[in-house]
Amino acid sequence: MSEYIEHDIDGVSVGVVEKKFFNFAEPPNQMVLENGKKLGPITIAYETYGRLDPEKRNAVLVFHALSGDSHAAGYYDPDDPKPGWWDIMVGPGKGIDTDKYFVVCSNILGSCMGSTGPCSINPETGMPYGLHFPVVTIGDMVEAQKELMDHLGIEKILSVVGGSIGGMQVLEWCARYPDRVRSAIPLATTTRHSALAIAFNEVGRQSIMADPNWNNGDYYAGEKPNLGLAVARMIGHITYLSDESMRLKFGRRLQDKSDFSFNFDADFQIESYLRYQGKKFVDRFDANSFLYITKAADYFDLRKQYGNGSSVEAFSKTKAKYLVVSYTSDWLYPTYQSRSMVKAMKKNGMDVSFCEIEAEWGHDAFLLPNRTLNSMMKGFLERVYNETE
Amino acid sequence: MSEYIEHDIDGVSVGVVEKKFFNFAEPPNQMVLENGKKLGPITIAYETYGRLDPEKRNAVLVFHALSGDSHAAGYYDPDDPKPGWWDIMVGPGKGIDTDKYFVVCSNILGSCMGSTGPCSINPETGMPYGLHFPVVTIGDMVEAQKELMDHLGIEKILSVVGGSIGGMQVLEWCARYPDRVRSAIPLATTTRHSALAIAFNEVGRQSIMADPNWNNGDYYAGEKPNLGLAVARMIGHITYLSDESMRLKFGRRLQDKSDFSFNFDADFQIESYLRYQGKKFVDRFDANSFLYITKAADYFDLRKQYGNGSSVEAFSKTKAKYLVVSYTSDWLYPTYQSRSMVKAMKKNGMDVSFCEIEAEWGHDAFLLPNRTLNSMMKGFLERVYNETE
């Protein structure tokens, strides 16, 4: 991908950072989930970058997508080969400027990167939860983040920022805690999944559940459903790209050969790429977390939850200033879905900026360096900060 | 789907038809495949509708797509609940009028519907071929069809017609046997797969090969890789539809429930639909055939094979009159790919008509009743028949 994207906006890193843990919901004070079930104790892994100002007016919450974690920026160790997943955006002088803002990124509830999820130990059994873990929602994830904010003593958040499933958390925050969010930047996201998005998630889930090693979610003591999870990840990667980006990046180029193999090896570069992405993923991600997080994304429906089916009504109770961003080649959450959200905000007379960024990289574009996005976010955050009493 | 499509163009059926078998390539006269390997004996299952006229000027070859068979029209038994897969198009007075034309449809080489494929008995071992079956190409499929034409005594074919992978066979016929094809109707197809199309096929193959029952292709005596094949089919079905068609057909409607189940059952109708399509498919299709046919489609590259990478050169040797059809919502073989093929034909000064049909049904649209397509094909066939000396 390197030859097509802009690299010179990386700037300086926040440097060495540390993963922290926040524990709450100790029984009997468990958290009551949207589905009525109780969960606790809960651990939330999180990181912070920059300093909270004395008035606590400069907190920016960053949310990760499906497979991300709390490590948005910097390095755990100076020798780490790669920084956090959004290092291009979060750092000194960057789009989310850590010289000015106190940035918090936490791992979502249900994940497997330090926060409580299906691979965590169920205190009732002393064994990993597996499918005994309750089905959590985007609302539950936000509720856990709210507990973290209370713990950090942050009442009002300057901005909530995230792409994809992270963008759903942005929208959920605005609707659930309108008085605590001053501004919001939902990127490459939607108020609810289309049938197409649900379809891709469902096929990924079916692939995992078809793997005999999945064993109804109870695999932590034995072989993991790596083959099923790898296929699920491959499907995901197709949806993160686009027809155009795949054509530019791979076309019909062959992988390390001059002609077809006439067997079922990977002939084409796109095949190698997908197999590699699938294999790499199983080393770092838990198959059950994939099931739970995709289900939460499919269930997410801002209109149903907050507006009786109307997005105008759903946004009517929110108070944030919005910067909505979509990408021309994103066919998972196409621009028309962002436009519809912007329309609903405007009908409510809200302060909303919208930008559709020209990018061939599909849904994944929000993770790639883009000068337009960086300067737009920088400008937006500066404005809302300056407008804050 | 019933409420959105046109049903009143079905007309009369060709009635009761019979599947026939043509055997050839008996050793030592085996067929030499494109990869240099030999295959034989070969059986091709086929059906015919209508009558071959005495001058043998009225033969129309219809090609099926990935999962189809020779049963394009009519019923094997008057009590059959459903007719052949293109009964809406092939029959008395229909788009391909069996009162006028002699229609032949054969099952492709490598399939599992009566023609020789990986589930056939390998004469050398007395066991099913499995992965010992050679990797065949679209060219090899056409070569077998050519043998069938010779067997039926048909030298010149009035028209070759097919959609998707069937359309690749159309293009291959025109390039491989330019003197035997008077006209061609490639529908919803491409001169070569994009990286996106290869990606979807590869994920389907990986899903099959991840199923332990696949057992390196050797499963005919035991449990079949049904779970892997079902997931592959589910992926396929997503690509056959479109964002819009899924929204119209399913949206976010729930399946037989009033609220979310908060477990991993099928909550949404789209989930039920995909699971059903997956399950239904494994009863009738062989997983190895899925591997072989998708590989043949990925390998197909008319430009490389016949034009040194140039589609203008590839079409320069063809002599057919063309009717090229694409569909607005087909994102597997988008219209831009058909346009590029039409451009290459026109640069060669060919007799070509092109129509992009407005349809929300995605790639699958070519299998659905559509008055525009029927009348266009009828008119085109009449013209080329009348222009035939």
pLDDT tens by residue, A378-388 = 999 999 999 98
pLDDT of B5 reads: 42
Q: Provide the token pair at A15.
A: 């440097």
**What are the residue numbers of the active site of A?**
164, 330, 363
3-class secondary-structure state, position A327: strand
Residues A20-194+300-386, CATH architecture: 3-Layer(aba) Sandwich (3.40)
Query: In chain A, pLDDT over 70 holds for what percent of residues?
Result: 97
On whether any CB of chain A is under 8 Å from the CB of B334, the answer is: yes
Q: Which fold does the domain B20-192+301-387 belong to in CATH? A: Rossmann fold (3.40.50)
pLDDT band at A360 (very low <50, low <70, confident <90, very high): confident
Chain A partners within 8 Å of B211 (Cβ): 210
Coil, strand or helix: which one is B319? coil
CB contact under 8 A, B264 and A198: no
What single-letter DSSP state applies at residue B366?
G
B264 with A291: Cβ contact below 8 A: yes
User: Is the separation of the CB atoms in B268 and B250 below 8 Å?
Assistant: yes
The token duo for A218 is 């109870």
d(CA B11, CA B13): 7
- Beta strands, E only, B164-258: 183-187
**Please, which pLDDT band fits residue A9 given cuts at 50, 70 and 90?**
low
Q: Indicate the angle between helix axes A138-152 and A287-299, nearest 10 degrees.
A: 100
Instruction: Provide the ipTM.
Output: 0.94
The answer to whether the CB atoms of B206 and A331 lie below 8 A apart is no
Q: What Cα–Cα distance (Å) separates residue A49 from each residue in A102, A162, B33?
A: 6, 16, 62
Task: List pLDDT tens digits, range A113-172.
Answer: 999 999 999 999 999 999 999 999 999 999 999 999 999 999 999 999 999 999 999 999
Cα angle A181, A186, A187 (rounded to 5 degrees) comes to 155
Q: Is A118 on the interface with B (CB under 8 A)?
A: no
Q: How many CB atoms lie within 10 A of CB A335?
A: 19
Question: How crowded is residue B89: how many other Cβ atoms within 10 Å of its Cβ?
Answer: 29
Q: Which helix (H) or strand (E) holds A344?
A: helix A335-347
Across the range A327-331, mean pLDDT stands at 94
| B114 to chain A, closest Cα gap in Å | 23
* Res A4 pLDDT > 60: no
Residue contact A135–B250, C-beta within 8 A: no
CA of B265 to nearest chain A CA: how many angstroms apart?
10
Q: Which amino acid is at B105?
A: C
Sign of the dihedral defined by the CA atoms of residues B134, B140, B146, B150, in that order: negative
Which candidate, B189, B155, B188, places its Cα nearest to that of B61? B155
Write out pLDDT tens, residues A31-55.
Answer: 999 999 999 999 999 999 999 999 9
For chain B, the helix, strand and coil percentages under 3-state DSSP, each to the nearest 5: 40, 15, 45
Closest-CA distance of chain B to residue A187, Å = 20
Return the pLDDT at B257: 87
Q: B346-364 burial, b if ≥16 CB within 10 A, otherwise e?
A: eeeebebebbebebbbbbb
Q: Is there a contact between B262 and A135 (Cβ–Cβ < 8 Å)?
A: yes
Q: Are B268 and A195 a contacting pair at CB < 8 A? A: yes
Q: Is B386 helix (H, G, I), strand (E, B) or coil?
A: helix
pLDDT tens figures, B186-241: 999 999 999 999 999 999 999 999 999 999 999 999 999 999 999 999 999 999 99
Listed by start position, the domains of chain A span: 20-194+300-386
A263 at interface of B, judged by CB pairs closer than 8 A: yes
CB neighbourhood size of A150 (10 A): 13
Which residues of A fall within a CB distance of 8 Å from B214? none
For the four alpha carbons of A71, A338, B328 and B318, in that order, the dihedral sign comes to negative
Q: Which residues contact B14 (CB under 8 A, 6 or more apart)?
A: B49, B50, B73, B74, B87, B90, B91, B92, B98
A260 to chain B, minimum CA–CA distance in Å? Answer: 8
- Note if the bond before B28 is cis, omega within 30 degrees: yes
Q: Is B125 exposed, middle or buried (0-12, 13-18, 19+ CB in 10 A)?
A: exposed
Q: Name which of B35, B211, B238 is nearest A203 (Cβ-Cβ).
A: B238
Give residues with Cβ within 8 angstroms of A378, minimum separation 6. Answer: A94, A95, A96, A97
- Given CB atoms, is B234 within the 8 Å cutoff of chain A? yes
CA distance A132 to A116: 13
Contact B299 A195 (CB under 8 A): no
B216 touches chain A (CB under 8 A): no
Res B12: pLDDT:
87
pLDDT in tens, chain B (389 residues): 333 344 445 678 999 999 999 999 999 999 999 999 999 999 999 999 999 999 999 999 999 999 999 999 999 999 999 999 999 999 999 999 999 999 999 999 999 999 999 999 999 999 999 999 999 999 999 999 999 999 999 999 999 999 999 999 999 999 999 999 999 999 999 999 999 999 999 999 999 999 999 999 999 999 999 999 999 999 999 999 999 999 999 999 999 889 999 999 999 999 999 999 999 999 999 999 999 999 999 999 999 999 999 999 999 999 999 999 999 999 999 999 999 999 999 999 999 999 999 998 899 899 988 889 999 999 999 999 999 87
Q: Which of residues 178-197 of B touch A (CB under 8 A)?
A: 192-196
Angle subtended at Cα A87 by Cα A84 and Cα A89, rounded to the nearest 5 degrees:
145
pLDDT of residue A388: 84
How much is the pLDDT for B2? 33
Distance between CA atoms of residues A33 and B59, nearest Å: 66
Count of A–B CB contacts within 8 Å? Answer: 154
Residues of B labelled as active-site residues: 164, 330, 363
Q: Which residues in chain A belong to E strands, given as ranges?
A: 20-24, 31-32, 38-39, 42-49, 59-63, 90-91, 96-97, 102-106, 121-122, 127-128, 159-163, 183-187, 321-327, 352-357
Mutate to test the interface with A, among B192, B200, B243, B275 (most CBs of A within 10 A): B243
